[in-house]
Amino acid sequence: MAYAEARTRVAHAALAAIVALIAAAVVSGCTADLLPEEPPPAAGASPAAAGAPRGAPTQSAAGSGGKGMERPAASGGNGSTVGRAPDGSDDAGSDPAAEPAPPGLGTPAPDAGPAPTGTEPAVPGAPPAMAPVPPGIPAAADGCITDVSPGDHAYSCDGLTYLVVVDPKCVSGSCGLIFDVHADLMSATQMRDSTLLHQSAPALGYLVVHPSPTAATIAGTWDDAQHYPRVLEFMMRIQRAFHVDPQRIHVTGFGHGADMAQWFMCHHSALVASVAALSNTRPAADCFVASWQPRVPYLYMHGTLDAVTPIAEARAMQTALVAQLHLVGEAPIEGDALYTRQRWRDSAGMELEWIEHQYMRATLGGYCIPGGNDALGGINGFTATICQTAGTLRWGDLVLQWFQAHPRRA
């Protein structure tokens, strides 16, 4: 009898142990199913009141150690925690008095990537969304812009020549606009070969214009007083003809063309969204005073071995520009053995990015354009404008990335 009772006690103990293990598994995996069902949350309820599992870890909306609404930590796509309602939407119904969530909270759904802010550099190859031309207002020719069909056009207006590439999307939608201005003794065709913007930018939603004071393949020299206002007038014409997106109008140039680009910054900053200049022949910061508004993001590059305009003159402009606009500098943001790139900003969104390179060509030293296909002595008999030093920079690519990243601020 005693032996039988002992066996019974042992069996009961074993059974109890098995039941305990099963209960532990059920509690850990299905606690929510075992809890009494709660009524649906009221409108505007916080996530904690919206059916979040009891005992779920919580974190403050004001960050660790901060005061604020406590919210359950839901798993994001990368394993991080994000404050979200049970249906996966952002916590729009939480207490409006709660402090803002720290970085990482309230981000898009898992695997959607970071929320866009409108200031990130655009991904090369991904055209920005274009606003459709209002119905019933097609591209319209005038006495100067005589053909508004897609294709490669040469317009002659008020004594100047303009090579313009029109992508098909720019006839039916509001494209951006890029003016790429050559230096003295160059031609529009040679500038095309030096930056290749006429090949890379149209598919990304830009009309690309190469102005010249002479025929397309003949070397020309700019006259500030006569030519700058005419180029401005053509810019206004092409805006009207193709219903250009006013938030994406940009100017870039080399040498004297860079001087013109800076003239647009100084005198028509309400018109251009951003500017890129290479090797100004007359670098000056006279117009960049504290009252200059609106401010235009500026990408500038100059060769340390430039034989036309010494690097010291360009650096003097940089120093004055930073001081007069009260910009805050940062350490170099990138570079290699042949170039450095630095950035300054202000609190209102103004940016100056400054690149110094050590590339050269046979004549005029560092007065050259990195990248491009301009052939030695080609087109107009002028020596090639591209740098002959092998390097990683391509000016046309830098310019296009800058313009994509810097439309006009809202």
| Per-residue pLDDT at 284 | 82
Q: Is residue 2 part of a domain?
A: no
Pairing relation of β-strands 176-181 and 298-303?
A: unpaired
Task: Classify residue 205: in a domain, yes or no.
Answer: yes
| Nearest CA-CA partner of 401 in 172, 128, 183, 117 | 128
- Show the domain range for 305: 151-405
Does a structural domain hold residue 187? Answer: yes
Q: Please report, for the domain that includes residue 228, its CATH number.
A: 3.40.50.1820
The tens digit of pLDDT for each residue in 42-91 reads 443 333 333 333 333 333 333 333 333 333 333 333 333 333 333 333 33
Asked if the structure places residue 373 within a domain, the reply is: yes
Question: Does 279 map to a domain?
Answer: yes
Per-residue pLDDT reduced to its tens digit, 269-306: 999 999 999 999 988 877 888 889 999 999 999 999 99
Task: Report yes or no on 281 lying in a domain.
Answer: yes
Please give the tally of structural domains in the chain.
1
Q: What is the mean pLDDT of the chain?
A: 74
Q: Is residue 235 part of a domain?
A: yes
**What digits encode the pLDDT tens for the residues 235-246?**
999 999 999 999
Q: Name 269's Cβ contacts closer than 8 Å, sequence gap at least 6.
A: 292, 293, 294, 295, 296
Any domain includes 230: yes
